[in-house]
Amino acid sequence: MAAPKSLSSVAGLTDVTVRTGSGEFGRALLDPEAAPPAGLVGPDGKAAPKRFNVYRNNVIVSLSEALGQTFPAIVSLVGDDYFNALARAFVTRHPPQSPVLMWYGGAFAGFLESFPPLAAYPYLADVARVEWAWLQAYHAADAAPLDPAALSAVAPEDVPAVRFTRHPAAAVVASKWPVLDLVRANRFATDAAAGIDLDEPQAVLVTRPDLEVGVFLLRPGGEVFLSALLEGSTLEGAAASALEKTSEFSLPDCLSDCLSSGAFTAIEGY
């Protein structure tokens, strides 16, 4: 895997001297309407507004491209041209907090959710949440998943009090929309877009038990059950929470799914 680009390397800010506050420079760099900051000069010691504008465009384009690489399903859903405009709007409102571009975009789902022109497409935010969880899982620490057979080593009377250790890559995304179908059709199997029912809620587990990131559909109540377990609840407490939310919850099925998909690394105390 190639080393991730940094903001400074893509900006090319090596032949311009900045004689101004870093806050002013950063704000101007990400605002296409802002004038170049005062005190910025080129190698000849003269003001360099054209150089700055080139650098500013490079930064915005690079950040937009980074977003496109992180959220390819969103690109597919809205189209390249609209996504580029959308990304530029996001960049001006949410400057990067890290120089590593692969970590840029954590606020993108919330931005989509609150962006008025996208009010008619409320599912986009949750699609972005699944894609962000996929990225986090891809870069999460390696850890061997729990062997599903390990639960058999627990005495029957102790099973209700069992707590699991979360896999570093595990995350749950619950949605009122068919997020798994939308992500699959627009990222992994682009010929599968037909037949998606936008009235079907879906919840998914995103994790990476081995080399590949997996996105798994959760059964009814599974998002409540698994979320509780990942947050440290006992097996009994998580099951009670899930059953309270939906009468369709099946403890054996949901537990089997969680164990087989690699959501945990250990049983605490065993």
Query: Could you tell me where in the chain the CATH 3.90.930 domains are found?
Result: 141-270
Q: Are 77 and 112 spatial neighbours (Cβ–Cβ below 8 Å)?
A: no
Query: Whole-prediction pTM value?
Result: 0.82
| 47 beta partners | 41
Q: State the sign of the Cα–Cα–Cα–Cα dihedral 256, 260, 261, 264.
A: positive
Report the alpha-carbon distance of residue 175 to residue 204 in Å, rounded.
9
Question: What integer pLDDT is reported at residue 72 of this predicted model?
Answer: 97
- Second CATH level (architecture) for the domain 141-270: Alpha-Beta Complex (3.90)
- Each residue's pLDDT, cut to its tens digit, for the chain (270 residues) gives 233 333 333 333 333 333 334 466 566 566 666 666 665 656 666 555 566 555 566 677 888 999 999 999 999 999 999 999 999 899 888 888 887 878 899 999 999 999 999 999 999 999 999 999 999 999 999 999 999 999 999 999 999 999 999 999 999 999 999 999 999 999 987 666 567 899 999 999 999 999 999 999 999 999 999 999 999 999 999 999 999 999 999 999 999 999 999 999 999 987
Q: Are 6 and 99 in contact (CB under 8 A)?
A: yes
Q: Which residue type does 145 have? A: P
What pLDDT shows up at residue 31? Answer: 64
pLDDT value for 154: 95
What is the overall mean pLDDT for the chain?
85
Longest dimension (CA), the chain: 79
113-141 per-position pLDDT tens digit: 999 999 999 999 999 999 999 999 999 99
